[in-house]
Structures are given as C-alpha cells and as structure tokens.
Amino acid sequence: MQKPSIPKDHSQKEHIISTKCRFLLWSCVFTPILIIIGTITVIIVIRYQPSFSSSNIKYDIDIPCNPLKFSDKTRYSTGNVPWQMSTGYIDADSFLDIVVVNRYDTTISIYYGSENGTFQNQKLYSTTFGVAYVAVRDMNNDNKSDIILTYTSSNQIAILINTGNQNFNSPITYPVGNYPYWIDTGDFNKNNLLDVVVVNNFGASVTILYDYYNLSFNYSILYPVGNDATAVSVADFNNDSYPDFVVTDLSDNTVSVAINSKNGMFKNSKTYFTGIEPWGIATADLNNDNFMDIVNTNDGSYTLSVLFNDGYGNFNRRDTYYIGATSRSISLVDLNNDTFIDIIAADFYNQYIYIFLNKQNGIFQTYQTVTTDYYVSAVTAGDFNRDGKIDIALISFYNLLNIFLNQC
C-alpha cells in the first residue's frame, strides 16, 4: 500500500509555526527580564547622574549673589533631641527670637535675639515629654507672641500665653485627634479669631479648632485626609481671601489640598501625587504669578516636589528636584533679595542644608550646600541681625542650634 504523501507546503507551515512558538516562548522569558533591567538602569541614572551634583553648578550671571555666602556657624546648646523650631518676636524688642522643642525632654528652649544676630543662651520652659512641633502666634490679639505645641502622647495641643518680660502662663491643653504632629493657624471663617489646624498622624485626619477667645476654642471639627499625615500648611490657594490648607499624606505618596467653602468649612480634599513618603511642607508664590504654590520633601525618594498652582487651586504641574538625602524640613524665603522665593532643605542624616536658588521663573538651580552639624531635624530663616538679608537657623540631633548669617 502506498503511504500517503505529505505536501511540501504543509511541512513548511509546520516549520513556520514552530519558529513562531519558539519566538513567543523566548519573548515571554526575556521581556520581564528586560523590563527589570531597564527599571534598574533608570533608577541608577537618576540616583547618580552627575547633573544633580552640587559640584557641577553653573552659576547664572543674571541671578544676584550666586553663589550665596554665609558666616561661619555659631552654635548654641539645646535640650535633648531638638525636633522642631519656630521664630517670632516674643519679648518686647525688635529682634527675632527662636523657639525649639526638645523631644526627649520636658522642656522647650527659647533663644532671645540680640544685636548683630547673636542670641542669649537658651532659657528653658516646662512642658511635657515628647513634644513634636511648635508654632509662634499671637493667639489672643494682645500684640504678644504666644506658643502652640503638639503633645503627641496625650493627643492634645498646648498653648502658652505670653505675659510679658519673657514669662508665660502654664500650658493650657486642648484635645485633638490621634497623635497630633504638625500645626498651623489661620482665620478660616473670617471672624477675626484665630483657628488652629492640627495634623493627626495616626488618625488620617486633621482637627481644626475654631475661634480662640478667652483661653478657649468655640468648637472643633475633624476632617479626613490621607494616611499617616505628617505636615500641614495654610494658604489661600484660589485667591478668594479665605484660607485653605494642604497636608502631606506620607503613606499615600500624595498631598491633600482642602479648599475653604467660604464659611470656614472644608469638603472633600483633592489629592496630588508627590515623590515617595512626603514629609515636610511649605507654601509660597514661587513664580511671582500671585498664586500660592506648594513645596514638600519626599522622605523615601530623597527629592523635593514643587507643585504649581494653576490659579484655581489646582496643582497639576509638578517639578522634582533631587537632593540625595532624607529631608523632613524646608523653608521658603528670598535669600538673595531678587524678589523670588528660594528653597532651603535640611539633611536629616548628614551635615548639610541644600539651597535651591530660584531662576526668577519658578524653576530652580541645582542645589548649593552649606555645611552644618550632623542630623539636621529642622530649618527656618529670618533676618536675625536686621541688615535686610535673610539668615538661616537650624537644629541638630547633637543638641545644637546653628546660626548662619547671610553675607550677600
């Protein structure tokens, strides 16, 4: 019996199908590998590319006082583990003072300013253990700056009323949410009474205490925000003359922007992506368009996020600036007197602060560094010697306050 013949084209089709199968098989094997290699390559390039290095700064001739110049640091002792700081005119003179919270003590340190940018040695005031944040505000409209603190372990804030002559009443406490961490103030309902907004780090919320008067608040409201919220900043984002606020949502990699309903109340906040683990935050008009922008530090990606306001309280444009270190505190000030806001970022684990000069359009130069004591937990700024130039103050885990006077 004659065997059936197999057409040549059938054999060729089998060969083609076999080749396609092998191709598909190898594609399935190599495609994930190539994706992983590509991802690692991108991360390495971003992490180490030399254009981010401060040694490659190209100083633009049209930016005044570039590079910046500062005096050698002046050191002052603090309490145990200084954590946050704030400035204000606390006594009756015209020199800025500095308040530092000592997280592992039951005290705060106040440094009263003197001439030539010097400060008296710390004066200690009793509080409680584990204070996380401090703000200096005139809470009762008596033209004296008072002090607001977060008592994290007891879920309270405390207010120390200034009685003059470098004295304060004993702290008065007010209940808030779970693990209050950061605070800011504003008159949200525009009744000429100050309100306090408190970030509740363990509660995915903020508490607003309304209408401070005669040592008490009228009422408080809890508003939901993102998870593990760390910081808050108050600003009018849509130019309706009512204060709004923004919060860093550390676990969500977002910031939550809450717009005032023009009655002091806030509806659902809107979120915008940042870098990894946003922590510190500040607000200012970075490009001089009369709209308030947002800057936050990203603890997990060693970057800063700059979010630009479109004029309606939306923040859809985001620029990222690489630092290469963990930063949890920033200050937004004009360091070179060109009317544009610059950025100061603290290095939490090393001995630097990073300064980003504004190119006078909301875009920033590669950072310049200033050498500090190690482990900078917070940074702030002000004209400490009244020469019209903004100086820098910071605190170090070595229980030190550093002062740098601007020499530009």
Contacts for 53 with CB less than 8 Å, ≥ 6 apart: 366
Backbone angles phi, psi at 238, to 5 degrees: -115, 15
- 3-state helix, strand and coil shares in percent for the chain, rounded to the nearest 5: 15, 40, 45
Residue in 394, 390, 385 with CA at minimum distance from that of residue 339: 390
**Cβ proximity of 271 and 254 under 8 Å:** yes
Contacts for 293 with CB less than 8 Å, ≥ 6 apart: 283, 284, 285, 286, 287, 306, 307, 308, 309, 315, 362
- Reported as type and span, the H/E element at residue 47 is helix 8-48
Give residue 63's pLDDT: 87
Measured CA to CA, the distance from residue 22 to residue 299 in angstroms comes to 46
Which residue shows structure tokens 């944040």?
133
Give residue 25's pLDDT: 52
Amino acid at 405: L
Classified as helix, coil or strand, 300 is coil
Give residue 277's pLDDT: 98
**Cβ proximity of 180 and 199 under 8 Å:** yes
Q: Which residues pair with 200 in a beta bridge?
A: 180, 205
Tens digits of residue pLDDT in 363-398 = 999 999 999 999 999 999 999 999 999 999 999 999
Classified as helix, coil or strand, 282 is strand
Distance set, CA 278 to CA 221, 227, 232, 298, 381 (Å): 25, 11, 11, 4, 22
Q: State which residues of the chain have pLDDT below 70.
A: 1-61
What letter would DSSP give residue 30?
Answer: H
**Cβ proximity of 128 and 116 under 8 Å:** no
Domains and CATH numbers, the chain: 74-404 (2.130.10.10)
Measured CA to CA, the distance from residue 202 to residue 365 in angstroms comes to 36
Measured CA to CA, the distance from residue 200 to residue 175 in angstroms comes to 11
- E strands present in 236-274: 244-249, 254-258, 270-273
Copy the structure tokens of residue 215: 């040592």
**Cβ proximity of 208 and 174 under 8 Å:** no
- Reported as type and span, the H/E element at residue 197 is strand 195-200
What letter would DSSP give residue 398?
Answer: T
